[in-house]
Structure 1
Amino acid sequence: MDIQQGLSLLAVAILIALTAFFVASEFAIVKIRSTQLEPHLATGKKSAIYAKKVTSNLDEYLSACQLGITITALGIGRLAEPTFEQMLHPFFEDVVPASAVTSLSIAVSFLFATFLHVVIGELAPKTIAIQRAEQVTLLFARPLVWFYRMLFPLIWSLNGSARLLIKMLGFKPMSEHEVTHTEEELRLIISDSYKGGEINQSEFKYVSKIFDFDDRIAKEIMVPRTEISAISIEDSLEDNLAIMREEKFTRYPVVNGDKDHILGIVNVREVLSDIVAPDVTEEIKLENYIRPVISVIESIPVNDLLVEMQKKQTHMAILYDEYGGTAGLITAEDIIEEIVGEIRDEFDVEEDPLISKIDEDHYLLDGKTLISEVNKLLHVEISEEDVDTIGGWLLTEKYDIAVGETLTFGPYVFAVKAFDGRQIKQIEVLKNDEENRFKKDEEERFDPPYEASGS
């Protein structure tokens, strides 16, 4: 190897190293999040200042990286192939026919140069940059800024030409690099983070419920009118206290006549505090403890209702339907449970879950289960146009449906198991091909065993 070949090899090595620098810089500055730089900026780290400058002007510095990659790639193509060909030519002269020496040495030199360029110059730096985006950005940001400043006129003119071409093609140029994500993209990112062990199951569930929370309306999570525990302004204090002792809630709506006429809410603690206070001598009247309650349409988004409740500093809201009648009520706890799950205190009665899985494709559903949840569970498309719950849907499909009767939808059979008054309480769901199991169960339940009689 002569000096000329040695210098050429050194130049090739430098160009491949520069390619690796620009490739690693490009992937690192795209991958890193601005929040990762905040701790370094707080300590006044100079490399973080340069990194912040780069990540805040991604379009310009990505253009610098692409220009650097292009220049180094052209340099490698110009130097590597002829240098390797000159080194391999004498070797092939001794092992192949003279007519094939030049062609073979050129082909092998091209493949070897391509291998070095792709593997060492691009693939390896890319992988390292993705896995160590923070460290690579902090390390390479300063030299990348220097490179950008040195070639600023060229980079500016190339960017301007690209924007002009984009406009001519009918596209809108972007002044800033796109860093926003759609809700679906964020869900996928969160899911990948959970699978990768970056967040735990509780964090994953909380974030997922936040997305669902924004799509909920108050009607879907309210306590329906039929289940509202209320006290009446017309009843005596003793009768109302009896209701409070039995139900054990903290707040009660106060009605005047019926549940369509709600005067406000009463906090039990205020009433009991005055009952046990030794210095209270005047008669305790329920109307003195009634506080205003907000009333909103049942179709209000839960998120908007929470904001309204925070503004009015109230823990309860009354929901009315399109006709002005009371549809139900909702508490702050109901809203919070949509994010964090069920919250129970020492007075809460243990309730069966809305959805219980018995076996594969075999479920027990509470009649109040939302149709949207059933659709998600069974991968069907039951209409939500007229009713919200699965029990309500069964009644709209067959108004006189009775316990033990079934209704088929898609691949599933829905069987009514129990009623609570006029409300369907429990529903059993099985795949269509197992409908005979329903019939067998009902025959055993309602038909007496046959006894043969002889004469």
Structure 2
Amino acid sequence: MSAPQSLLLIIALIAASAFFSLAEMSLAASRRIRLRQLAADGDPRAPRVVQMQEQPGDYFTVVQIAQNGVAIMGGIVGEGAFSPFITNLLSHWFAASTAQTLGFLCSFLLVTSLFILFADIVPKRMGMADPEKQAMRVYGLMQFFMTVLKPLVWLYSKSSDAIFRLLGMNALRDERITSDDILAMAEASTQAGGLAQSEQRVIANLFDLDSRLVTSAMTSRDRIAFFLQNDTDALIRARIAEEPYSTYPVCDRDIDHVIGYVDAKDLFQRALNNQAISLKTDDLIHKVLVIPDRLSLTETLDQFRQAQEDFAVVVNEYSLVVGVVTLNDVMSTVMGDLIGPDDEELIVQRDTNSWLIDGITPIEDVVHALTIDEFPHFEDYDTLAGFLMVMLRRIPRRTDSVNWGGYKFEVMDVDSYRIDQVLVTRIQPQGEDKTSSLSAPSAPTH
């Protein structure tokens, strides 16, 4: 075979190998969701590629048969195509035996480099760049090769299936998409500019509902506006004007004896009709949903759905009221940064290295805002105030501080043992990030 013929044959073998490399990578990298979307848009090739992905054994067997055959042929033809020419060229400077050895090595390196570059790297990068489109393009020709090579495909497929059974391995790809997969795709889409940062946060918040307790979204006990059953008309009207909410718990004697709730719409209707407002009768009071404080937000949503309510009272193991929660509270947790500007902000970023955070802020929100991997004793508290109490092992006082994860948490204001504001400042971590230190004001002298 002449040198030009050998060169043409090598080019043909490289093209064949490139085709099968492209076919292999494009099918492996194709996204099932994207293919189904293309099928819904009317592309008839997309369902065939999806079906091929479900049972790819014969497809990849053809690819391996072809690639190995082409590699062997390339080695045989390549050595004969370039070795004599390179040997003759090198014989002007080296002895015949040395020139022959160097000619063989140069020919081998040249052919190998051509195959690596044009038959492997380039087509595989093409297949990864737009896998669904390339997979649909090569499907028809791959189906032809699968038919032509069917006897060999059957033999190798059965042999590989037997080996998989012998090793106790599953030969089928697991197509289940987990929550971690969805979060990873959302993060990748955000980095590529396909999703806004706030939209990615909403997706992450949805999956956090199962791990966040209802206490992280509720209105705490000290902030509940409620009525006693024997409150007068004047007192009820004054409370509505002072603390306008959509729903008010109704209690007997104190807040820990909740007997129901009253809807503000019913109160407004009576006020507009100049009717006296009294809670001593049951016509205004609705049965209240009571839930334990250990429920997750997902379980809370289930309770709302089953009871067909959007308001619940949260109690602890001692049947004491610890807060109230509404459907809007849960949805605000999901929406995160997308909530309206009129909503109260518990976390206010002052600059790139400092934040002013309310003590009742759920610790999960602090984790997201500060991008801290974890807090110590995470299961022992629900809020930033709880974190400070656990770390200090006492009720915090003004100017008390805790250093954790490269941040300083300093108590700025305390009102009747309640931590109102905490100043969080980014500091240069010393040693490991997850170290902590405590500081407190010195005891007064007498």
Q: Deviation at 1:133?
A: 1.4
- Opposite residue 261 of structure 1, the aligned amino acid is H
- 2:346 is equivalent to residue 369 of structure 1: no
Q: Match for residue 12 of structure 1?
A: 10
Query: 8 Å contact 2:83–2:107 — kept in the other structure?
Result: yes
Q: Match for residue 101 of structure 2?
A: 103
Q: Match for residue 169 of structure 2?
A: 172
Query: 8 Å contact 1:51–1:142 — kept in the other structure?
Result: no
Identity of aligned residues (%): 23
Query: 8 Å contact 2:247–2:263 — kept in the other structure?
Result: yes
Q: Report Cα offsets for 1:400-447 as digits up to 9, x if no partner.
A: 54334456668766543222223122234565999xxx99xx89xx99
| Aligned 1:28-107 pairs, distance under 5 A | 28-42=26-40, 44-107=42-105
Task: Classify the secondary structure of the residue corresponding to 1:249.
Answer: coil
Q: Deviation at 1:393?
A: 4.2
Query: 8 Å contact 2:413–2:422 — kept in the other structure?
Result: yes
Q: Match for residue 302 of structure 1?
A: 297
Distance 1:358 1:4, change over 3 A: closer
Query: 8 Å contact 1:294–1:318 — kept in the other structure?
Result: yes
| Aligned 1:203-282 pairs, distance under 5 A | 203-276=199-272
Q: Deviation at 1:20?
A: 0.8
Q: Match for residue 452 of structure 1?
A: none
Aligned-partner Cα distance in 1 for 2:81–2:405? 70
Q: Which residue, 331, 346, 349 being the options, matches 1:353?
A: 346
Q: Report Cα offsets for 1:338-389 as digits up to 9, x if no partner.
A: 121267679x5x74533545674x5543222344555673666432343323
Query: 8 Å contact 1:63–1:159 — kept in the other structure?
Result: yes
| Aligned 1:317-336 pairs, distance under 5 A | 317-336=312-331
Q: Deviation at 1:127?
A: 0.9
TM-score (normalizing by structure 2): 0.84
Task: Classify the secondary structure of the residue corresponding to 2:103.
Answer: helix
Aligned-partner Cα distance in 1 for 2:70–2:197? 46
Q: Report Cα offsets for 1:139-194 as digits up to 9, x if no partner.
A: 1111112222332332333233233334444x4223x2234455445434332322
Task: Classify the secondary structure of the residue corresponding to 2:378.
Answer: coil
> How many residue pairs get matched?
430
- 2:386 is equivalent to residue 392 of structure 1: yes
Distance 1:147 1:369, change over 3 A: same
- Opposite residue 9 of structure 2, the aligned amino acid is A
Superposition RMSD in Å: 3.4
- Opposite residue 173 of structure 1, the aligned amino acid is N
Aligned-partner Cα distance in 2 for 1:48–1:408? 55
Aligned-partner Cα distance in 2 for 1:126–1:53? 22
Query: 8 Å contact 2:229–2:252 — kept in the other structure?
Result: yes
Aligned-partner Cα distance in 1 for 2:224–2:60? 61
TM-score (normalizing by structure 1): 0.82
Any gaps of 5 or more consecutive residues in structure 2? 431-438
Q: Which residue, 173, 191, 203 being the options, matches 1:195?
A: 191
Task: Classify the secondary structure of the residue corresponding to 2:76.
Answer: helix
Q: Higher mean Cα deviation, 146-155 or 114-123?
A: 146-155
Aligned-partner Cα distance in 2 for 1:432–1:127? 42
Query: 8 Å contact 1:163–1:173 — kept in the other structure?
Result: no
- Opposite residue 262 of structure 2, the aligned amino acid is V
